[in-house]
Amino acid sequence: MSAPVAAEPTTDVVPEGYADVPHTRVRLKARRRAIARNLEAAARIPSLTADVQMDMTALLAARSEWNAGHPEAKLSVLAFLMRAAVAALRVHPDLNASYTETAMLQWSTVNLGVAVDSPGGLVVPVVRAAERLGVAELGVAVKDLAERVRGRGLTGEDLVGGTFTVSNPGAVGPSLRAEALLNPPQVGLLGLPGLRRVPIVVGAGAEERVEIRSVLCPSLTFDHRALDGGEAIRYLTTLTAAVESWSLSDYLVPAHRPDEETP
């Protein structure tokens, strides 16, 4: 006769001083427990977060131009930001890497993780070889991943091998900052809060003036064992320059063409 299987405890060890406080026990799902384990591992990494403010006027104008001409294939702001983020990684490969005790592993492709909020918890499916995709293709890839997350159509292969992650809490609500824990073994994560309309100074010298513009303040969290603040700021500077000088002719094409040599 087989040995009896131990039943899962039906009571929790409640925190000290709460023994008399009425409560309801809500069992954690397997995904939530897995997320908790991953976050504990991430919290052990010494990380810092750097923030910048970007004027989104040029990017939003390019998006409006695209969407007006392609009503059947409209693109989200996230697709444009992903394209700019990937292009900046090609300039700053130390952010598209993993840290080990003896070496930095600089990945030759950008497998872009996209954090997606789902009813079952946070998942980070991966867009593979994102440097080979233009903004339109990235938009299709993100839409496909989101639909498969909602329809439980992801596979294990969709969730592994990421080299850099983009988190977009601004899509959930009007967050002011997007600091996040890293997604090990990656050394960088770009958090995207909500868009805001604020007064900013534009122009220079005698042409300087204040205008109300749409801005975004992305947060770059990085592994301080692998990188110092200077490299993080240089990445954000490159990203900001791309966003503030958007041109559809430049960014519809991939960040890296198949006929180019891979660094």
In this model, does residue 199 exceed pLDDT 50?
yes
Is residue 207 predicted with pLDDT exceeding 80? yes
Rg of the chain on CA atoms, in Å = 21
Question: Mean pLDDT throughout 13-28?
Answer: 86
End-to-end CA distance of the chain: 62
Which of 94, 224, 250, 259 does the annotation list as catalytic? 224
Task: Determine the pLDDT at residue 183.
Answer: 92
Which of 158, 228, 250, 256 is flagged as catalytic? 228
Cis peptide before 185 (omega within 30 of 0): yes
Mean pLDDT of 205-226: 95
Q: Which residue has the higher pLDDT, 61 or 169?
A: 61
Average pLDDT for 92-112 = 96
Helices 229-244 and 57-69, packing angle to 10 deg: 50
Whether 228 is catalytic is yes
- Enumerate the domain spans of the chain: 30-251
As a whole number of angstroms, the distance between CA 163 and CA 90 comes to 12
- Average of per-residue pLDDT across 74-93: 95
pLDDT cut 90: percent of the chain above it: 59
Confidence of residue 184 (pLDDT cuts 50, 70, 90): very high
Residue 226 predicted with pLDDT over 80:
yes
Closest CA to 156 of 132, 183, 124: 124
Q: pLDDT band for position 263 (50/70/90)?
A: very low
Highest mean pLDDT among 30-44, 128-142, 164-178: 128-142
pLDDT band at 57 (very low <50, low <70, confident <90, very high): very high
Alpha carbon 99 to its chain's center: 19
Contact 164, 105 (CB under 8 A): no
**Mean pLDDT taken over the chain:** 87
CA atoms of 114 and 190, how far apart (whole Å): 10
Kindly write down the DSSP assignment for every residue of 49-96, as one continuous string: EEE--EE-HHHHHHHHHHHHH-TTS---HHHHHHHHHHHHHHH-GGGS
Q: Taking residues 79-85, report their average pLDDT.
A: 95
Mean pLDDT of 91-102: 96
Residues 6 or more apart in contact with residue 50 via CB below 8 angstroms: 219, 220, 222, 229, 232, 233, 236
The whole-number pLDDT of residue 155 equals 85
pLDDT at 127 over 70: yes
Q: What are the backbone angles phi and psi of residue 164, rounded to the nearest 5°?
A: -160, 145
On whether the pTM is more than 0.95, the answer is no
pLDDT greater than 70 at residue 250: no
Pairing between strand 188-191 and 164-167? Answer: parallel
**Residue 70 is a catalytic residue:** no
- Residue length of the chain: 263
Q: Are 196 and 218 in contact (CB under 8 A)?
A: no
Q: 30-251 has which fold?
A: Chloramphenicol Acetyltransferase (3.30.559)
